[in-house]
């Protein structure tokens, strides 16, 4: 970034600050923007009414009042609007008296040979952040000084934030006030216990958080769950046996809920087929449909259905029936409780 001496107020800038001391709303000094350029200074700053060679206008990003009659101005900019690269040599601050006032150059500074190059928009640069402290003092007739030494780049800001975030003692006093590590509301250690979890608190007192057992109820909100109990409660959920084959496959859960399936056929001219279940169970429901290995969409024009009257009284097999002999293949699905 270019290195500037302290900004000097222009004659019209001094007049605007003096006018604002009346306290009237229409006379209020409003800082509107900054302008940077590459002009060579050849005249007295007090007589300037604009930059020598303006290149880029920068909107005011933030205004913050600070101590000793100063306010801090923040300007952020990049080169997205820069058509032709230039050497940043001059900077000016603009403002107006009142909302309807005319915008004028308040202060100016020129870096002379201590410039920095700002490329055109085809070579993007990171967002630049310019902080300027404007001091007007208690006496409006005192010439204010704008100090550019507080200007920082985005990279410098990011590095400061990174250093702060990695510091182990950042805000240490504040956190200690918020969190009493010596109280019984603070947990400093957790350990396994045969009844659950053992908690050691900040005051060195201990508490056991018991395991949830199989006879739990909804009021057990201050207990923990182990894997064994979880499987039992899911029992309800945990798979205890399975055979994931296309034919005579099954999945059995811990609570006895069983799903079984397979592929079979009607022998010869039989109009019924008894399917031996892979796992014996009380059948809740069974489904079936004819199966065609052909790539054509034409079926064999027969129906197949579950014979629930036979199947419900038999834990080892289920019966399916059809309307004619030599019906062919069909697939089946059975849901039950072992």
Is 120 found in the same domain as 19?
yes
Is 322 found in the same domain as 203?
no
Is 128 found in the same domain as 39?
yes
- The tens digit of pLDDT for each residue in 256-295 reads 889 999 988 888 888 888 888 988 888 888 888 877 665 5
Q: How far is the C-alpha of 302 from the C-alpha of 322, rounded, in Å?
A: 7
pLDDT at 194: 78
Specify the range with the lowest mean pLDDT, choosing from 2-6, 147-151, 279-283, 315-319.
147-151
At a CB cut-off of 8 Å and minimum separation 6, what does 278 contact?
Answer: 243, 248, 249, 250, 260, 262
Q: How far is the C-alpha of 150 from the C-alpha of 147, rounded, in Å?
A: 7
Is 158 found in the same domain as 125?
yes
Whether the pLDDT of residue 213 is over 70: the answer is no
- Residue 226 in any domain: the answer is yes
- Residue 304 in any domain: the answer is yes
User: What is the extent of the structural domain holding 112?
Assistant: 7-163
Q: Compare 220 and 82 and report the one with higher pLDDT.
A: 82
Is 153 found in the same domain as 28?
yes
- Looking at residues 58-67, what average pLDDT do you find? 78
Q: How far is the C-alpha of 100 from the C-alpha of 55, rounded, in Å?
A: 25
Whether the pLDDT of residue 236 is over 70: the answer is no
- Residue 126 in any domain: the answer is yes
- The tens digit of pLDDT for each residue in 11-41 reads 999 898 888 888 888 888 888 899 999 999 9
Is 131 found in the same domain as 12?
yes
Return mean pLDDT, the chain: 80
Structurally, how many domains does the chain consist of? 3
Q: What radius of gyration do the chain's Cα atoms show?
A: 42
Q: Is 158 left (phi over 0), alpha (psi -120 to 50) or beta?
A: alpha
Is 228 found in the same domain as 246?
no
Whether the pLDDT of residue 53 is over 90: the answer is yes
Whether the pLDDT of residue 4 is over 80: the answer is yes
Whether the pLDDT of residue 321 is over 90: the answer is no
Q: Compare 312 and 306 and report the one with higher pLDDT.
A: 306
- Residue 2 in any domain: the answer is no
Is 152 found in the same domain as 15?
yes
Q: How far is the C-alpha of 240 from the C-alpha of 262, rounded, in Å?
A: 20
Whether the pLDDT of residue 219 is over 70: the answer is no
The encoded tokens of residue 5 equal: 């001496």
pLDDT at 310: 75
pLDDT at 98: 87
Q: What is the CATH number of the domain that holds 296?
A: 2.60.40.3940
Q: How confident is the model at residue 144 (pLDDT cuts 50, 70, 90)?
A: very low
- Residue 125 in any domain: the answer is yes
- The tens digit of pLDDT for each residue in 82-117 reads 999 999 999 999 999 888 899 999 999 998 888 899
Is 120 found in the same domain as 66?
yes
Is 121 found in the same domain as 29?
yes
């Amino acid at each position: 970034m270019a290195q500037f001496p302290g900004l000097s107020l222009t004659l019209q800038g001094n007049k605007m600050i003096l006018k604002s001391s009346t306290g009237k709303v229409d006379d209020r000094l409003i800082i509107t923007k900054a302008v940077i350029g590459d002009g060579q200074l050849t005249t007295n700053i007090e007589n300037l009414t604009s930059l020598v060679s303006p290149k880029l206008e920068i909107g005011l990003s933030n205004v913050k009042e600070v101590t000793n009659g100063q306010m801090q101005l923040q300007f952020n900019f990049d080169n997205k609007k820069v058509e032709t690269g230039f050497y940043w040599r001059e900077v000016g601050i603009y403002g107006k008296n009142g909302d309807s006032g005319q915008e004028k150059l308040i202060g100016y500074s020129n870096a002379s040979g201590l410039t920095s190059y700002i490329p055109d928009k085809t070579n993007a640069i990171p967002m630049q952040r310019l902080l300027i402290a404007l001091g007007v003092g208690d006496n409006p007739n005192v010439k204010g000084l704008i100090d550019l030494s507080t200007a920082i780049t985005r990279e410098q800001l990011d590095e400061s934030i990174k250093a702060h975030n990695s510091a182990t003692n950042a805000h240490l006093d504040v956190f200690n006030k918020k969190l009493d590590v010596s109280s019984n509301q603070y947990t400093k250690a957790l350990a396994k216990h045969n009844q659950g979890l053992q908690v050691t608190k900040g005051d060195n007192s201990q508490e056991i958080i018991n395991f949830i057992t199989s006879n739990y109820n909804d009021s057990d909100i201050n207990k923990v769950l182990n894997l064994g109990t979880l499987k039992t409660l899911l029992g309800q959920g945990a798979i205890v046996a399975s055979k994931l084959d296309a034919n005579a496959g099954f999945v059995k859960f811990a609570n006895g809920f069983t799903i079984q399936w397979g592929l079979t056929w009607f022998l010869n001219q039989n109009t019924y087929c008894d399917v031996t279940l892979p796992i014996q169970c009380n059948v809740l429901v069974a489904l079936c449909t004819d199966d065609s290995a052909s790539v054509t969409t034409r079926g064999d024009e027969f129906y197949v259905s579950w014979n629930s009257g036979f199947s419900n009284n038999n834990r080892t097999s289920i019966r399916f029936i059809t309307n004619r002999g030599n019906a062919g293949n069909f697939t089946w699905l059975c849901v039950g409780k072992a």
